[in-house]
Amino acid sequence: MAKLAPALLFALFAALTGVAAHAAEDPASQITRPAGYKPQPGDVALGEKLFNDIKLSTNGMSCASCHANHGAFQASFAKPYPHTVAMARDQLGRKTVYLDEMVQGCMVMPMAAKPLPWDSKELAALTAYTATLQKTFKPSR
């Protein structure tokens, strides 16, 4: 159950929201760090707020809809970035991703939204907050 549920959930949302069609605009490059990109330190408290904010998506989801209590995270989440995330590899052909790229990946795939501006305090904040979740994450296998 724990292993299957996220994949099923995502497949369902992909089907319901036409994620595939949206991502087809320019899937991999939308989540790829632009040239000269320098990650900024982010505001963790703002990140937590955004993580629970359905306004970030176009489909009524927030990050927490799937990831509350470490939900939907697979064993890869325990590894230092960059690493392989199955969803980014399978849907976007990305062999490895950075954490901020994966935040963008969930913005464009399950959240069915546009990627956040790379220099935004929102992306920095979500990345910083997600990094705190990673610290307490223990894979189930």
Q: Could you tell me if 2 and 140 are in contact, meaning their C-beta atoms sit under 8 angstroms apart?
A: yes
Q: Nearer to ligand HEC by C-beta: 15 or 37?
A: 15
By the rule CB under 6 A, 118 interacts with ligand HEC: no
Q: What are the contacts of 47-53 at 24+ separation with CB within 8 A? A: 47/125, 47/126, 47/127, 47/128, 47/129, 47/130, 48/129, 50/122, 50/125, 50/126, 50/129, 51/126, 51/129, 51/130
**CA angle, residues 113, 7, 56, in degrees to nearest 5:** 20
By the rule CB under 6 A, 10 interacts with ligand HEC: yes
Q: Could you tell me if 64 and 48 are in contact, meaning their C-beta atoms sit under 8 angstroms apart?
A: no
Window contacting ligand HEC (CB under 6 A); options: 16-24, 33-41, 67-75, 117-125: 67-75
Using CB under 6 A, which of 19, 31, 72, 108 touches ligand HEC? 72
By the rule CB under 6 A, 103 interacts with ligand HEC: yes
Minimum separation from the CB atom of position 82 to ligand HEC (A): 9
Using CB under 6 A, which of 23, 31, 92, 102 touches ligand HEC? 102
By the rule CB under 6 A, 87 interacts with ligand HEC: yes
Q: Characterise 74 by phi-psi region: left (phi > 0), alpha (psi -120 to 50), beta (else).
A: beta
Residues of this chain that bind ligand HEC (CB under 6 A) = 6, 9-10, 13, 56, 61, 63, 65-67, 72-74, 76-77, 85-87, 99, 102-103, 106-107, 110-111, 126, 130
